[in-house]
């Protein structure tokens, strides 16, 4: 298994990236520095995580100390939902570049099929109808300008992907979605792979979940645990390795150095075919359902609406 996947732009996306959602300011700066020193070459960021300034400080120090050069890192960030109007998209990437102290991103994603009024709190009363063709047109301009070396989307269902593919001049390089052994995304992965769109997995350990959600856990799933025991790996390593073998990059979040290293140690061994087959027996449950986008008078009347029934 290669340490990279190739995007439809020809660029290489490192197969393991560090997730930074809920990586608290005050901890994240040191964590990023430690991660890059440990071998991470891909950092997944977003202004919605409220920590890009600290990540920018870490990156500056990493380059100043000569740990790696800018071109050795793959940095992803995302368009904030209040910046989806086409005229506001350039400001969205510029704010992120300023905070991250970079002059380009390797990948810039539409964070979510949710658009809110500019500057307003992103709750359903402030949502506006989507205009993905217009937003995507502005994303294509960023790609053509070189500020975003690849562009893509996040949290797009099969239906939204198909709608986007029908109008795109620049094909999306990536769809970043929840994916782990308990929410495997078989249909979406198949669609994306057939169209040359790379699937990237956030929350690949299945730890992020809707508030109050009390469903099963990936790291205690009996199939994951038994495969881990057979291979003498941890359940986290098995969950991540399953993702790589399915052809997706994985973005585990950790600010703990030992766990970061554990999550990177998923190369040079593999899950044999007979054990891979067992994953298909795992009952599927979506853990991040995005109830916060739902409102009776809003754009999305139910979570089924938001995910186009793919839930």
Q: Is residue 253 involved in binding ligand A2P (CB under 6 A)?
A: yes
Residue with tokens 């979406």: 188
CB 21 within 8 A of CB 253: yes
**DSSP 8-state symbol, 302:** S
Stretch that binds ligand A2P, among 49-57, 138-146, 199-207, 302-310 (CB under 6 A): 199-207
Tokens standing for 124? 């359903």
Shortest distance, position 83 Cβ to ligand A2P, whole Å: 25
Q: Does residue 243 touch ligand A2P according to CB under 6 A?
A: no
Span of 50-58, 163-171, 203-211, 299-307 interacting with ligand A2P by CB under 6 A:
203-211
Tokens standing for 90? 């350039």
Q: Which long-range contacts (CB under 8 A, 24 or more apart) does 185-188 make?
A: 187/158, 187/310, 188/157, 188/158, 188/161, 188/310
| Nearer Cβ to ligand A2P (219/294) | 219
Which of 40, 49, 143, 300 is flagged as catalytic? Answer: 49
Tokens standing for residue 278: 């067992």
**41 touches ligand A2P by CB under 6 A:** no
CA angle 166/169/171 to nearest 5° reads 75
d(CA 170, CA 157): 19
User: Segment contacting ligand A2P (CB under 6 A): 51-59, 187-195, 254-262, 299-307?
Assistant: 254-262
111 annotated ligand binder: yes
Verify binding: residue 203, ligand A2P, rule CB under 6 A.
yes
300/279 Cα distance (integer angstroms): 32
The reply to whether 256 sits near ligand A2P by the rule CB under 6 A is yes
- Is residue 4 among the annotated active site residues? no
Task: Detail the residues annotated as belonging to a binding site for substrate.
Answer: 111
Q: Which chain residues interact with ligand A2P by CB under 6 A?
A: 19, 203-208, 219, 236, 252-256, 259, 262-263
Active site residues: 49
């Amino acid at each position: 298994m290669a340490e990279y996947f190739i995007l439809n732009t020809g660029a290489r996306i490192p197969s393991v990236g560090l997730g930074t959602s809920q990586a608290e300011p005050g901890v994240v700066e040191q964590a990023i520095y430690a991660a890059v020193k440990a071998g991470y070459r891909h950092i997944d960021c977003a202004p919605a995580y409220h920590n890009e300034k600290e990540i920018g400080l870490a990156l500056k120090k990493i380059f100043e100390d000569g740990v790696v050069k800018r071109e050795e890192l793959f940095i992803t960030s995302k368009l904030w939902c209040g910046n989806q109007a086409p005229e506001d998209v350039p400001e969205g990437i510029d704010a992120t570049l300023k905070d991250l102290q970079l002059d380009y991103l390797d990948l810039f994603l539409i964070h979510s099929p949710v658009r809110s009024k500019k500057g307003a709190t992103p709750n359903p009363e402030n949502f506006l109808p989507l205009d993905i063709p217009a937003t995507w047109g502005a994303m294509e301009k960023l790609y053509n300008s070189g500020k975003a070396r690849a562009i893509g989307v996040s949290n797009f269902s099969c239906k939204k992907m198909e709608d986007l593919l029908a109008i795109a001049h620049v094909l999306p390089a990536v769809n970043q979605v929840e994916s782990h052994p308990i929410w495997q995304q078989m249909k979406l992965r198949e669609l994306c792979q057939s169209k040359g769109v790379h699937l990237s997995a956030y929350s690949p350990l299945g730890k992020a979940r809707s508030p109050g959600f009390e469903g099963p856990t990936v790291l205690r799933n009996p199939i994951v645990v038994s495969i881990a025991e057979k291979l003498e790996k941890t359940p986290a390593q098995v969950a991540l390795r399953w993702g790589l073998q399915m052809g997706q990059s994985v973005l585990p979040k950790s600010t703990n150095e030992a766990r970061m290293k554990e999550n990177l140690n998923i190369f040079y061994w593999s899950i044999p075919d007979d054990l891979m087959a067992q994953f298909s027996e795992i009952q599927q449950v979506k853990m991040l359902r995005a109830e916060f986008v739902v409102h009776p008078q809003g754009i999305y009347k139910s979570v089924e609406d938001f995910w186009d029934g793919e839930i």
